[in-house]
Chains A and B, each alone.
Chain A
C-alpha cells in the first residue's frame, strides 16, 4: 500500500470521525434544548444560569487536545510527503498553458502522458514555463504548485500498474480545465524499454505500442477513467522522443 495515500486517508478519517461526533453532539443538544425548554414545556426560564467556569475550561481544553492531535496527524503525513527516499528516480515536470511536459533523467521527454515504472519511488521537480500551475495526482493524494522562477518538488511511490488522472489544480487561464494528463504505471521492464527507446523508433509507433499495453485497474484509484476519455489535448505525437546523445538537441528555453 502507498504510504502517503494511507497517511492522508487515515488523517482524513481521524478528523472526520471527531468532527462527526462534535457536529452530532452540538446539533442534538441544540434540538433537544429547543424542544425540552420550549415556552410550553418550560414557561419559566432559569435566570440564574449565566455561565460555568468548569464548562468553559472543559470546552477549551478538550478541543485543544483534539486539534493538537489532528495537527500531529497532518504533520506526520506531511513529513512523509516531503521526505523523498534517496533511491527515487527523478522526473522533471513543466507546466505550460495548457499541457504537461515531462523530462526523464536520460533526456527522454513526453507530453501529457507520464510513464512510470511500477513499484518505484519517483521525485518530481516542478517548474512552470509561464504562469502558476499545480501538479495534482488525486489517486496519490499529492499536489504542489509549479511556480515560474522556482523549482518545487513532490514525490510518490508508483505503487501499482494502472492509469491515473493528472489535473492542473491552480487556475491558469482559459483551458485550465483541459490541462489534464495521465500517469501510466507499467512494469519496470516495459518502462525501461520505453524510456530507452530513442532515435530509431518512430514516434507515432511508440505511442501506439504503449497504448496497447494492457492497463490494469486497482482499488487505489478513486478517479480512474479510461485513457481515451480524457479531453486533454493529446496530440498524435504526444510521446516525443529526443535522441539521448544528439548534439543538436535544442535546449529548453528557461
Chain B
C-alpha cells in the first residue's frame, strides 16, 4: 500500500520504476504506457497507409498512366488495404483507448493480465513487421488486394503463407487482448459497478472482445489449410487439385466480416461516452444501447455471405444471407436513434469532441444506409465489386471508425497527456475533414452505380469527371487531417495544462488526475449509481476516509456486485 501511494504521487508519464528511459516503456506492464506504445505504432502505419491512398487518388486523376504503372498501382491498393485494415482499423481503438481507459473506467488499477498485455504489443509489432516484410519479399510487393482471393493469390504472390502467418500473429494479438478485456470486465469492476452501471465504452469493448476471441481462430484454420495445400498437395482451395476457391472466400469472410464489427463496436461505445458528457445529461436508452452491441456482435457472425452474392453460391444461401444482413441493421439503427434522442432537452456544451461525433453520426448514417443497397440482392448484384462498395466501406470504416478515432483523441487527449489543445483549430480541422471526406468518397457512389469496377488502374472516359472531383477531395481531406494532428502535436509540446475534468465527464476516468497516476486510484472506489448521472456523484473515491458513511453502503454495493 505504501508502495502504491508512493507511485501515485506522480503521473504514469513521470514515474520511474525499475527500468528507466526507453526500457521503462518497452518493459512496462502499465496499461496506460502500453496504450501509448500502441498509439505510436498505429499512427505510423496510419500515415503510411494514408499516403498510399493519396497516391492512388493521384493515379486516378486521369485515365491511363498518371504517376505509376498498373503493377505498382495494384501493389499500392493492396498495401493500403492490408495496413489500414489489419494494422490500423482493427486494433486502433481497443488497443490504444481500450488499454488506456477501460481499467480506469472500471475502477481498476490495471487490466487483469498486465504482462500478457505487454506481450500483445510485441505480437502486434512482430505481426506488423512480418506483414510488411511479406509484402516486399518473394518477388515484389503483393498485388492481390487485401482479400487474397485464391487462385490468384496462389498464382501471383509467392508469400501468401507469410502474409497469412502475419495475419495469424496479429490475430493472436487481438485474441489475447480480447481475452484480457473479457476477464478484466468480469473480474475487476469496482465494488458496486453492476453490469448495467458499466460505461457503454466497456460494453462496446466487451462485445468486441467476444468477437475477437471467437472469430479470429478461423483465420488460423485457414492458414493451416493453406499449409496443407501448399506442402502436402491436399486440394482445399485450388481447383487444379480438386479444391474449391469459394471455400476460401467463405473462410476469409467468416473471419473478416465479424472483424468489421471488431472495427466499429468500440467506436460506437465512445459515441455513447461523448454524447452524455456534452449533453450534460444521462444517455437515452442505456440498456438498449448496451444490449444492441451484443445484438450486433451476434448477428454479425451470420452475415458473411453477403460478400459473396455473385460468387456462385447457391440461390438459397444468398436469400438467407440477404435476410440476415437486413436484421443487423436494426440494432445499429437503435443506437443511432438513441444517440440523437440523448441530445433532446440536454444542455449542450459545444466542444470539439462533440463536433466530431455529430460529423460521425451524419457520415456513418450515410454509410449504414447505403449498406442496405448492398444487402438487397437485386441491387447488390449490380453494384458489388464496384466503387459503390468502396464508397460504402469508406463511409463506415473511415467515416465511422476513423472519425471516432479522431473524436476519441480529442476527448481523452487532456486525460492522457494532461495538456489542452486549441479547440477552435480542432473544430476548423474537423470541418475541413468532413468537406474533404464527402468530396472524396461521395462521387464513388455515383461512379459505382454507373458501373465503375473497383481495383481498376485505368477507366473508361465517361468516369473521369467524378474521379477528378474525388482526387481534389483527397487533398482537402489530407490537409484537414494534417492540420488536426498538427494542432494536437502543438498542444503536446506547448499546450496549457489540462484540469482533471475539462469536459464535465461523469465516468471514473474524470475522477483521477490528468494525466493519471501509475495505479490510477489511491483506493478502489465504490460505485453507487449509473455511469452518466450528472446531478449527483455516483462514486465514493476514498471509501476508507469516509468510513462511517460508507461502511453499510460498501457492503450493500458488494452484495449488488455479487448479483
- Which A residues form the contact surface with B (CB < 8 A)? 7-8, 11-12, 15-16, 19, 22-23, 26-27, 29-31, 33-34, 37-39, 42-47, 49-52, 55-56, 59-60, 63-64, 67-68, 70-71, 73-78, 80-82, 130-132, 134, 136, 138-139, 141-145, 147-150, 152, 165, 167-178, 180, 222-225, 229-231
The residue of chain B having its C-beta at the shortest distance from the C-beta of A25 within the complex is: B340
25 contacts between A and B (CB under 8 A): A15-B376, A19-B372, A23-B362, A37-B344, A37-B345, A45-B281, A45-B345, A46-B346, A47-B282, A50-B286, A51-B287, A63-B333, A75-B378, A130-B155, A132-B149, A141-B382, A143-B385, A145-B312, A148-B240, A149-B245, A169-B310, A171-B144, A171-B145, A176-B74, A222-B451
In angstroms, Cα B326 to Cα A70, docked, is 8
Nearest-CB distance from A186 to chain B (Å)? Answer: 22
How does the 8 Å CB contact mask read for B154-186 relative to A, with 1 for contact and 0 for none? 011000000000000000000000000000000
Closest 8 CB pairs of A and B: A77-B378, A138-B451, A74-B376, A149-B239, A78-B377, A19-B369, A33-B343, A177-B456
**Cβ of A132 to closest chain B Cβ, rounded Å:** 6
Question: In the bound complex, do residue A39 and residue B285 qualify as a contact, i.e. CB atoms below 8 Å apart?
Answer: no
A51 to B292, CA, bound (A): 15
Contact partner of A144 (CB less than 8 A), chosen from B312, B343, B386, is B312
Choose from A19, A42, A138, A180 the contact partner of B382 (Cβ within 8 Å): A138
Additional pairs, 7, CB under 8 Å, beyond known A67-B326, A168-B453: A38-B350, A50-B285, A63-B333, A75-B377, A141-B378, A144-B312, A173-B152
A8 and B379 form a contact (CB under 8 A): yes
How far, in whole Å, are A173 and B450 apart by their CA atoms in the complex?
23
In the bound complex, how far is the Cα of B74 from the Cα of A22, in angstroms?
A: 37
8 Å CB contact of A177 from B323, B385, B458: B458
Asked whether any CB of chain A lies closer than 8 Å to the CB of B384, the reply is yes
Checking B326, B365, B382 against A68 with a beta-carbon cut-off of 8 angstroms, the contacting residue is: B326
Closest-by-CB residue of A relative to B239 is A149
A169 contacts B143, C-beta separation under 8 Å: no
Cα separation A154 to B102 with both chains bound (whole Å): 51
Give A29 to B362 CA distance when docked, in angstroms.
11
**How near does chain A come to B197, taking the closest CB pair, in angstroms?**
13
- Interface size of B in residues (CB-CB distance below 8 Å): 90
Residue in A closest to B327 when the chains form the complex, CB atoms = A67
**Contact check: which of A19, A139, A168, A171 meets B370 at CB < 8 Å?**
A19
**A56 surroundings in chain B (CB, below 8 A):** 285, 288, 334, 338
Among A63, A145, A150, the residue within 8 A (CB) of B330 is A63
Task: List B contacts of A169 (CB < 8 A).
Answer: 310, 384-386, 453-454
Residues B281 and A34 in contact, CB atoms below 8 Å apart: no
Interface presence of B470 (CB below 8 A): no
How many Å lie between the Cα of A163 and that of B239 in the bound state?
35
Max chain A Cβ within 10 angstroms of own Cβ: one of B346, B378, B385, B451? B378
Residue from A30, A49, A68, A77 in contact with B281 in the complex, judged by beta carbons closer than 8 Å: A49
Decide yes or no whether B449 CB sits under 8 A from chain A: yes
A174 near B451 with CB under 8 A, answer: no
Q: For residue A7, which residues in chain B have a CB less than 8 angstroms away from its CB? A: 378
- Checking B71, B311, B350 against A145 with a beta-carbon cut-off of 8 angstroms, the contacting residue is B311
A-B contact count (CB 8 A): 277
The reply to whether B151 and A75 form a contact with Cβ atoms under 8 Å apart is: no
Which residues of B sit under 8 angstroms from A80, Cβ to Cβ?
378
Q: Tell me, yes or no, whether B341 is within 8 Å of chain A by CB.
A: yes
Question: Which chain A residues lie closer than 8 Å to B346 at the CB level?
Answer: 33, 37, 42, 45-46
CB pair B461 A45 closer than 8 Å: no
CA gap between A50 and B530 in the complex, in Å: 11
Tell which of B143, B144, B343, B379 touches A11, judged by Cβ atoms closer than 8 Å: B379
User: Do A225 and B460 contact each other (CB < 8 Å), given the known contacts A26-B361, A78-B378, A174-B74?
Assistant: yes
Complex Cα distance, B386 from A229, in Å, reads: 21
- Least Cβ–Cβ distance between A172 and chain B, in angstroms: 6
A29 to B336 alpha-carbon distance, docked (Å) = 12
Which residue in A34, A64, A167 is a CB contact (below 8 Å) of B343? Answer: A34
| C-alpha gap A46/B288 in the complex (Å) | 20
The answer to whether B382 and A142 have CB atoms under 8 Å apart is yes
Distance of A80 Cα from B382 Cα, bound (Å): 14
Within 337-386 of B, Cβ neighbours of A (below 8 Å) are at 337-338, 340-341, 343-350, 358, 361-362, 365-366, 369-370, 372-373, 375-382, 384-386
Closest partner residue, chain B, to A68 (CB atom): B326
Q: How long is the Cα–Cα vector from A55 to B312 in the complex, in angstroms?
A: 41
- The stretch among B121-129, B252-260, B314-322, B407-415 that forms the contact with chain A is B314-322
Query: In whole angstroms, how far apart are the Cα atoms of A143 and B70 in the complex?
Result: 24
Contact of B345 (CB < 8 Å), options: A49, A81, A139: A49
Asked whether, in the complex, the Cβ of B378 is within 8 Å of the Cβ of A76, the reply is yes
How far is A130 from B375 in the complex, measured between Cα atoms in Å?
29
Closest Cβ neighbor of A46 among chain B residues:
B345
- With both beta carbons as reference points, the residue of chain B lying nearest to A23 in the complex is identified as B365
The answer to whether the Cβ of B558 comes within 8 Å of any Cβ in the partner chain is no
Q: Is the CB of B245 within 8 A of A147?
A: yes
- Shortest Cβ gap from A139 to chain B (Å): 7
Give complex CA distance A152, B245 in Å: 13
Residues on A with C-beta less than 8 A from B365 are: 22-23, 26-27
Type the 1/0 row for B417-446, where 1 means its CB is closer than 8 Å to any CB of A: 000000000000000000000000000000
B36 at the interface (CB under 8 A from A): no
B51: Cβ under 8 A from any A Cβ: no
Q: For the complex, is B279 an interface residue (Cβ under 8 Å from A)?
A: yes
Q: Given A37-B346, A231-B458, do A150 and B453 touch, yes or no (CB 8 Å)?
A: no
B329 beta carbon closer than 8 Å to chain A? yes
Judge whether B459 is part of the interface by a CB distance below 8 angstroms.
yes
Instruction: Give which listed residue, A71, A130, A138, contacts B326 with CB less than 8 A.
Output: A71
For residue B218, CB closer than 8 A to chain A, the reply is no
A164 to chain B, nearest CB (A): 10
